């Protein structure tokens, strides 16, 4: 498995080796021992999620209270998404910065995000299917969001995908999400 640490400490891109022939492709998208060698820790699995989105659906930026936080290991098994990690940890040298990874069915990359980091993605084509492993289970009282279109974040969301132009579609919760400054001023962000 190839890997690189993203510009946000605690976030990694992992690209599996693919073995293909006339029948199709086989790959390991997660192996605990390889993951631990790359990232320097294990991923305790508490929940696995699957999200299917139409082109233009923008989900995030989501994060959980720390402690315990929620680490995520994310990949796209159908379609393609731009997956984004945002450093929401107050006091971090990269606070408010973001990095992204294209997750698709070509390179079949995965992204790992440590606790305290924000996560979101934009579906670039219809039926984009994202699966992710989570270190803690969903707990609504610990879950928060920052508006993904906050100009202060300046995330460069694509405006077109393989099928043409994209019109962003956000959930009501994400539309009502505070900006990074509002979440900071309210004391809702994790500490580095």
Active-site annotation holder among 62, 119, 144, 147: 62
Assess contact for 120 and 32: CB atoms under 8 A: no
Active-site annotation holder among 63, 132, 144, 147: 132
User: Could you tell me the end-to-end alpha-carbon distance of the chain, in angstroms, rounded to an integer?
Assistant: 29
Can 62 be counted among the known catalytic residues? yes
What DSSP character marks residue 139?
Answer: -
Task: Return the sign of the alpha-carbon dihedral for residues 79, 147, 152, 187.
Answer: negative
Of 57, 8, 51, the C-alpha closest to 138 is: 51
- Would you name the residues annotated as active-site residues? 62, 132
């Amino acid at each position: 498995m190839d890997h690189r640490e993203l510009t946000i400490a605690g976030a990694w891109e992992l690209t599996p080796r693919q073995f293909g022939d006339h029948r199709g492709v086989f790959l390991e998208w997660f192996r605990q021992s390889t993951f631990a060698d790359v990232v320097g820790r294990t991923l305790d699995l508490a929940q696995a999620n699957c999200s299917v989105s139409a082109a233009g659906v923008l989900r995030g930026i989501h994060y959980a209270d720390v402690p315990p936080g929620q680490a995520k290991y994310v990949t796209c098994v159908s379609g393609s998404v731009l997956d984004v990690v945002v450093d929401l940890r107050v006091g971090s040298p990269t606070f408010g910065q973001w990095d992204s990874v294209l997750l698709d069915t070509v390179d079949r990359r995965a992204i790992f995000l440590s606790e305290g980091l924000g996560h979101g993605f934009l579906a670039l084509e219809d039926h984009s299917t994202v699966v992710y492993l989570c270190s803690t289970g969903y707990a609504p009282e610990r879950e928060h969001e920052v508006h993904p279109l906050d100009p202060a974040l300046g995330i460069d969301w694509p405006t077109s995908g393989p099928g043409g132009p994209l019109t962003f579609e956000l959930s009501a919760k994400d539309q009502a999400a505070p900006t990074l400054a509002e979440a900071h001023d309210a004391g809702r962000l994790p500490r580095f």
